[in-house]
């Protein structure tokens, strides 16, 4: 089956101009053109998924282009492409750790405010945070602490 650029853009949740840009940058090397129009086929979706993934993890266009060029060279570049994917995977792992840490902090703050609102004061939170074994205490760096009144 064949698909127009608009149909593919809708499926990928991007603007058609984004796909045109990708094509102009050489990121869609196997997409056919019929009478000057891009025609996507079922086989193109495997590559479009990879492209979408790389863009969603904020891989720079220049790096994606490098990956595309290596892929077009074939088997002789397998190791290089593998290393590029590992590098991106490591970057994602770092981001995931940051997001998990932020999520924990937001969970703590959610609990903090819920507890303080229920009690009508934040002072209640200060009295119980250190006694709850499952909550990670919100640690403020020493140089950021203000004298308690």
Phi, psi values for residue 111, rounded to 5°: -60, -45
Query: 47 - beta bridge partners?
Result: none
Contact 27, 68 (CB under 8 A): yes
Spans of all domains in the chain: 2-57, 99-139
CATH number assigned to the domain covering 2-57:
1.10.1660.10
| Whole-structure pTM value | 0.68
Sequential pLDDT tens for the chain (149 residues) = 999 999 999 999 999 999 999 999 999 988 988 888 899 999 998 899 999 999 989 899 999 999 999 999 999 999 999 999 999 999 999 999 989 888 888 887 888 888 889 989 988 777 665 555 544 545 433 433 344 43
Give the per-residue pLDDT at 144: 31
Give the per-residue pLDDT at 110: 83
Give the per-residue pLDDT at 107: 82
CA distance 104 to 92: 18
CA distance 40 to 9: 11
């Amino acid at each position: 089956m064949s698909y127009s650029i608009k149909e593919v853009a809708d499926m990928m949740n991007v603007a058609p101009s984004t796909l045109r840009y990708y094509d102009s940058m050489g990121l869609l090397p196997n997409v056919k053109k019929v009478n000057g129009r891009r025609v996507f086929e079922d086989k193109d979706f495997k590559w479009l998924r990879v492209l979408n993934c790389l863009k969603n993890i904020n891989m720079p266009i220049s790096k994606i282009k490098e990956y595309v060029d290596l892929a077009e060279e074939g088997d002789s570049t397998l190791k290089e492409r593998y290393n590029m994917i590992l590098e991106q995977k490591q970057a994602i792992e770092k981001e995931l750790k940051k997001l998990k840490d932020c999520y924990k902090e937001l969970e703590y703050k959610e609990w903090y405010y819920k507890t303080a609102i229920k009690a009508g004061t934040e002072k209640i939170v200060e009295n119980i945070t250190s006694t709850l074994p499952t909550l990670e205490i919100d640690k403020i760096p020493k140089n950021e602490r203000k004298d308690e009144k």
